[in-house]
Structure 1
Amino acid sequence: MMRKTFIVALLLLSCTILRSQDGWISKVSPSIITGLQDGEEVECLIQLHDTPDLRRAKTIRSKGKKGQYVFSNLRKTAESSQRALIDWLKAKGRFPKSLYIVNLIKVSLDQSMIEAIAKRPE
């Protein structure tokens, strides 16, 4: 009985380890994966999770002030959530472009960099 329990525990641990190693693939669009060739780069859009709380915009009466409020909060959210990744990409010789309205980063990457980014928590 002890041996059977050990084998089941070992199998579960193996499955967990394998899933965590390949878990990055689930974060990447299949079209990106299939578009990769050995050493080639693919243009990618990296979406970050943070989103600003824009509920207060409903209470602002002036169209200009409302637009400025939304613009400012979108930009602040993108700058704070993208900073570490953009710095990392620049250190790797990449030229990322921030798309603050939807909190995306546009950049060309090879497979190893795509994997490294997909494994990041943000």
Structure 2
Amino acid sequence: MVLLGLLLLVLSAVAVLGAIFLLDSSGVEYFGADVPAVTLFVVGALSVVFIGTGVRLMASGTKRNLRARKELKRAERAQAERAQTEQAQTEQAQTEQAQADGVDTDRESPR
């Protein structure tokens, strides 16, 4: 989306700059072709539409990327919390099992 929006902006800029710099005072010659003034007006109007569309596409693509990054971070945090909870449960189960077997987990056995 962002690339398509950028492409539309570049094409519109080329059309507008071509209209500004390639026109001569004797007639309307646009990129080597004689064109009526109405056609030049239509090119300008379409450039404005393409610029608006390009900006909207870039904005929506950026929003979508940001949303995806937030969801990925949220999923990573949830996964880390689950792993931490599972580790704590495993350690607790091992401690309870050791206590049930009669081993004192607070002290190390003499060697």
TM beyond 0.5 = no
- Larger proportion of helix: 2
Larger radius of gyration: 2
Q: TM-score, normalised by structure 2?
A: 0.28
More strand by share: 1
